[in-house]
Structure 1
Amino acid sequence: MNVKIYLKLKLSRFFSSAIAIATFIRGEDDETRALRRTLIRYMILTQSLVLRDISLQTRKRFPALETLEAAGFCSKEELYIIENTHDSYSRYWIPIEWCFEHLYEAKREGKIESIFLLERITAEIRDFREGLAKLLKFDWVPVPLGDTYSQLVFLSVRLYFIIALFTRQFLRDFEHPYWFPIATTIQFIVYVGWLKVAEALLNPLGEDDDDLECNYVIDKNLITGMTLVDRGGIRAPTLIKDAFWDNEHITPLYSYDAANRTIYPLIGSASKVNYVKKVQNIIMTPHKLKLAKLNENEQYQRTKSVDISDHNVKHIRMRKMSKERDPNKILRLVRQRSLAETLENITTTAPTNNEIDRKMHERF
């Protein structure tokens, strides 16, 4: 799997966790709001701790742990705990442990209604942590094979062309005073081009223009996550009948330019083929190998005649209808009518802000 695609998929797990926190932790008081925001902050802190160890972008942004405190990702007390936790391997797990501790206390205080909802939140946070752990493993063992093999490939390609520079020269030929190595040039462009692509893929968390923007991901998760959990407990809009409620045939709308584009629907290539258009009846019988094992009475009982006259009539009607109802012709007619007539009777007027505020006030 492409490493960049994997990174984007795993980093997007953050929003599933944020939605679960905002939805399942109920309460509008300051303590509950602080709980939701703290959980998001701890997840961002974990993400920042991981990315600053595998991405030069994030390392430049947070060169020391104290800069995480200055950025508002952790408090002095939290930073002190992280710095004084003696783990010779990693300390990324500390904010995740704090998340689980706060969730346990929230369940005891009744902010989370059931064990099932608690499990859902912890599962989302656990998936987020596992995604970050896999990012560390990708950084630990570079794609595709590791440092030794990568350096060997880079060295061999460069050494090959250094040798070719000398071995593919010709002695001076007075009949052909000008000579250009076309084949060698093509080889150089292709091989070195592939090599540059491999070098770019080797570190998708670097500082090149086409690398993943880790700092942007951190900022986006922080801002969107805080905004999302602050809406926790706010009721969803009122249930209404949708615009297609009474429509027998649901026809979503397009702009004229988009409607003019041909769409190729998901229809089998043989779905419109009619092999029996000149036949009125079809004889259905078992396979000849099976018939050989049956007596005459059983052969007669297993054989059936099927009347397909209705099938052919329907098929002819559908073909005729498809020819008469040319989509391009109908679209042009609709376009002409829309230009010639006023659309006041079908134009939808957007509600004003005052109307929306009045409806929200009546509801809440």
Structure 2
Amino acid sequence: MTVSYQAQVATSNFNCFLKLLARWRGSIYKIIWKDLAAFLILYYSLSIMYRFVMGPNQQRLFELLVHYCHSSSTLIPLSFVLGFYIAVVMQRWWTQYITVPWPDPLAVYVSTLFVGQDERGRIMRRTVMRYVCLCLTMIFTMVAPSVKKRFPTMDSLVDAGLLTENEKDVLIAMDEKSPKHRKHWVPLVWAASIVSRARKEGRIRDDVALKTIFDQLDTFRNKCAVILHFDSVPIPLVYTQVVTLAVYSYFLAALIGQQWVPKEVDPDGHYDWVDYYLPIFTTLQFFFYMGWLKVAESLLNPSAMTMMTLK
């Protein structure tokens, strides 16, 4: 989940960034601690078995396996594959966020360009914006589970005041005739019809104002369509599978390849005279690579992530 922290880094004081590193909510520690705990448990289990359980012949075989896994782990281009994948996912998520069709600009134009303070003019302005909010709600119910839970049926939209009974009947009849096609655009057609009627009644001063409102409606509709496209056209599954397999296979190899064995076993190998007990740099690698992967998994569905951000 996106967590705001700008207020904590208002200055470039080093203590501010130390406080950020210690935060738990929305942190890398919260997202990978279970995976890190499982990795370290398996790592120390193999280490204990090598030191205290295995016999000399078994230790020798294990040492050869350590050397093989360590030398072969460099064959996985993890940094390149994972870095490019993260870039694609982050760009997709940010594009999704900035494409959210906020109704505020359209509300400003409707309030400004519609003239007349009588009851009919007020109802026309409110109805146009109700249709816009209805369209936005219908879009979010298609892409965000939290909104779908809030508005599971047409009746819930009626109860919320976004839809009338007659309008609900029209949408249901259209859905029965063409059930495979989405109907989110229908409220915008209704809104455009009200805008055209307002121009004929003189409630919109000129054609320039009329075109401005129509342009805003069209921009709103285009953004709604883009959100649906993001939801229906995901990142290719094969790419996600390749990255996930690369990360997990790398750390499965690291479970063995980063084990400590005595220097005398292979003087030309990667082994050290000092037994550090804790795999410091392997743990840091786990933080970086697994953290990247978990961020990508969280942002893989930009529609759901955007709604989490807006909550």
Match of 2:170, SS?
helix
Match of 1:202 in 2: 300
CA shift in 2, pair 1:10/1:183, >3 Å:
closer
TM-score when normalising by structure 1 = 0.52
Match of 1:39 in 2: 128
Q: Which has the larger radius of gyration?
A: 1
Match of 1:212 in 2: 309
Equivalent AA in structure 1 for residue 308 of structure 2 = D
Match of 1:70 in 2: 159
Match of 1:211, SS?
helix
Equivalent AA in structure 2 for residue 72 of structure 1 = G
Match of 1:73, SS?
coil
Task: Pick the structure with more helix per residue.
Answer: 2
CA contact (8 A) 1:204 1:211 kept: no
CA shift in 2, pair 1:206/1:127, >3 Å:
same
Aligned pairs for 1:94-243 within 5 A? 94-142=186-234, 145-171=235-261, 179-206=277-304, 211-213=308-310
Report the count of equivalent residues. 211
Q: CA deviation at 1:94?
A: 0.5
CA contact (8 A) 1:55 1:206 kept: yes
Mapped to 1, the partners of 2:305 and 2:150 lie a distance apart of 12
Runs of 5+ consecutive residues of structure 1 not aligned to the other structure? 217-364
Q: CA deviation at 1:176?
A: 5.6
Residues 54-73 of structure 1, C-alpha deviations (whole Å, 9 max, x = no match) = 11221221122221111111
Q: CA deviation at 1:14?
A: 2.1
Match of 1:84, SS?
helix
Mapped to 1, the partners of 2:173 and 2:245 lie a distance apart of 44
Aligned pairs for 1:52-67 within 5 A? 52-67=141-156
Mapped to 2, the partners of 1:97 and 1:150 lie a distance apart of 39
Q: CA deviation at 1:23?
A: 1.2
Runs of 5+ consecutive residues of structure 2 not aligned to the other structure? 1-89, 265-272
CA shift in 2, pair 1:61/1:155, >3 Å:
farther
CA shift in 2, pair 1:188/1:10, >3 Å:
closer
Residues 227-253 of structure 1, C-alpha deviations (whole Å, 9 max, x = no match) = xxxxxxxxxxxxxxxxxxxxxxxxxxx
Mapped to 2, the partners of 1:150 and 1:134 lie a distance apart of 22
Match of 1:205, SS?
helix
- 2:114 maps to 1:17: no
CA contact (8 A) 1:82 1:91 kept: yes
Aligned pairs for 1:294-333 within 5 A? none
> Quick one: percent identity of the two aligned structures?
31
Mapped to 2, the partners of 1:70 and 1:184 lie a distance apart of 56
Mapped to 1, the partners of 2:210 and 2:263 lie a distance apart of 83
Mapped to 1, the partners of 2:162 and 2:224 lie a distance apart of 17
Residues 1-42 of structure 1, C-alpha deviations (whole Å, 9 max, x = no match) = 845554554446522211111111111111111110000000
Mapped to 1, the partners of 2:305 and 2:217 lie a distance apart of 28
CA contact (8 A) 2:96 2:230 kept: no
Equivalent AA in structure 2 for residue 162 of structure 1 = L
- 2:172 maps to 1:83: yes
Mapped to 2, the partners of 1:120 and 1:30 lie a distance apart of 24
CA contact (8 A) 2:157 2:163 kept: yes
RMSD: 2.6
CA contact (8 A) 1:68 1:74 kept: yes
Mapped to 1, the partners of 2:212 and 2:279 lie a distance apart of 65
Match of 1:92 among 158, 161, 184: 184
Runs of 4+ in 1 over 6 A off after TM superposition: 172-175
- The structure with higher relative contact order (CA 8 Å, sep 6+) is 2
CA shift in 2, pair 1:9/1:172, >3 Å:
closer
Residues 288-329 of structure 1, C-alpha deviations (whole Å, 9 max, x = no match) = xxxxxxxxxxxxxxxxxxxxxxxxxxxxxxxxxxxxxxxxxx
